[in-house]
Amino acid sequence: MYHKIVILLLTLSIIGCKKSNDSSSVSEENKKDLKENSIQYAEGFKISEFKNYKTISITNPWPGADKTYTYVLSDSDIPKEDLPQHDAFIKTPITSIVVTSTTHIPSLEMLNAEETVVGFPNLNYISSIKTRKLITAGSIKEVGKNESLNTEVLIDLNPDAVVSFAVDGNNTTLSTIAKTGIPTLINADWTEKHPLGKAEWIKFFGALYNKSKEADSIFKTIETEYISAKKTAAAASIKPTVLSGAMFKDVWYMPQGDSWAAQFINDANGDYLWKESEGTGSISLNIESVLEKGQNANIWIGPGQFTSIEQLKDANNAYAYFEPIKTDNVYSFTTKKGETGGVIYYELAPNRPDIVLKDIIKILHPSLLPNHDLFFFEKLK
């Protein structure tokens, strides 16, 4: 799965918490003031606003999860009996945070909250120039590896919140941190299928900083740009055929038809040759089947970690048979990296799907966006 974010190795769970519902055991007074915030595209969370507090409910913390996590946010102290069952209580606005995915960094920067970040696992993954300056200045501490966060460092930092993500439900390190009283929250942006669904998670961070209006405004701009670009692409009379992915060892991995990556190609008015495959992850194929169906594709987008045409040819002689190799129409997003080697696409693309879409439109239909220069992608030489 070429769009797989490199750092999805962390697993987390918050032990000792009951399955919760954001409106269960809410006082009658607060129930009357319930207001559901508008989440249009994201399927993994919702925000509910009550008289004295808000709740964030994580309804899909990881694929196949049967648990909902509920976090209560308030700028005042509220008696426990007036609150619903919850997995963490967060006093807002928070002033310090530890995040664990590079996809969290752009949301914080767009909200002008990057200076509140005090810790991150494996700092070299971060590419953003603004946040790297804070790392150089010593403002952001290394908190270990994703699979084994340094509990002592986190306790010493004592952030207002630790925001992580889960690929199942098992992590004792985060459980230990939660027991110290540091609120631990799951952010499941990576589980979203729609490009705008991933970007909408800026509203999750907006709630933590009492910046919901700012988050809504930022997302609305991204949504408007995305929809406008999609409409522009729909006007194209030709729909180029698209190949994606590459081989790892003897298996060719490419996005499935319902995936995030396939959605971009479809919205850019491209004909993704494996669009009929069902699923949101990656499909595994042998080289013979890919050659049979994709040999004459017009464009090849996302050829794994390869950085040049020659590198592709040297890796496997079969690559030379594909038409995009012959016509120099292979485009990669892994060539553009930050100063410490992090791939910029992995960090920023989930937050800026409008730019990703414009890039792909530029690749498929160059004349439609004459003033747009490729940002994430680059043609392999």
Q: Is the pLDDT of residue 11 over 50?
A: no
Helix (H, G, I), strand (E, B) or coil at 332: strand
pLDDT at 8: 41
Percentage above 90 pLDDT, the chain: 76
- What pTM value is reported for the model? 0.88
What's the mean pLDDT in 36-60? 92
- pLDDT at res. 19: 38
Per-residue pLDDT tens over the stretch 199-228: 999 999 999 999 999 999 999 999 999 999
Query: Helices (H), strands (E): how many in the chain?
Result: 14, 20
Contacts of 209 (CB under 8 A, 6+ apart): 92, 93, 94, 111, 113, 116
**Cβ 45 vs Cβ 201: under 8 Å:** yes
Q: What distance in Å separates the CA atoms of residue 171 and residue 193, rounded to the nearest whole number?
A: 25
Instruction: Give 113-124 pLDDT, tens digit per residue.
Output: 999 999 999 999
Q: How far apart are CA 87 and CA 177, in angstroms?
A: 13
45 three-state secondary structure: strand
Residue 304: CB atoms within 10 Å = 18
Q: Starting at the edge strand that comes first in sequence, how are the strands of the sheet with 378-379 ordered? A: 271-272, 241-244, 299-301, 330-332, 378-379
CA–CA separation, 50 vs 56, rounded Å? 11
| pLDDT over 60 (residue 154) | yes
Contact yes or no for 69/16 (Cβ under 8 A): no
What are 55-101's pLDDT values in tens digits?
Answer: 999 999 988 888 999 999 999 988 888 888 999 999 999 999 999 99
Query: Tokens 């009658």 belong to which residue?
Result: 28
Of 13-22, 70-79, 187-196, 262-271, least confident by mean pLDDT is 13-22
Orientation of helix 353-364 relative to helix 212-234, angle to 10°: 10
C-alpha–C-alpha distance, residues 51 and 72, integer Å: 12
- What pLDDT, on a 0 to 100 scale, did the predictor assign at position 146? 64
Please tell me the least confidently modeled range out of 32-36, 132-136, 345-349.
Answer: 32-36
Which amino acid, 300? W
- β-strands 330-332, 141-142: how paired? unpaired
Mind listing the domains of the chain with CATH numbers? Answer: 28-223 (3.40.50.1980), 238-379 (3.40.50.1980)
Q: Is the pLDDT of residue 22 over 60?
A: no
**d(C-alpha 55, C-alpha 23), whole Å:** 9
CB atoms within 10 A of CB 355: 19
Residue burial 130-161, b: 16+ Cβ < 10 Å; e: rest: ebbebbeeeebbebbebeebbbeebeebebbb
**pLDDT > 60? residue 48:** yes
Q: What is the mean pLDDT of the chain?
A: 89
Give the pLDDT of residue 5. 40
pLDDT at 236 over 60: yes
Q: What is the pLDDT of residue 14?
A: 31
Quick one: how far is CA 244 from the chain centroid? 20
Q: How far apart are CA 40 and CA 202, in angstroms?
A: 13
CA 375 vs. chain centroid, Å, equals 18
Do 246 and 378 contact (CB within 8 A), yes or no? Answer: no
Q: What band does 197 get if pLDDT is binned at 50, 70 and 90?
A: very high
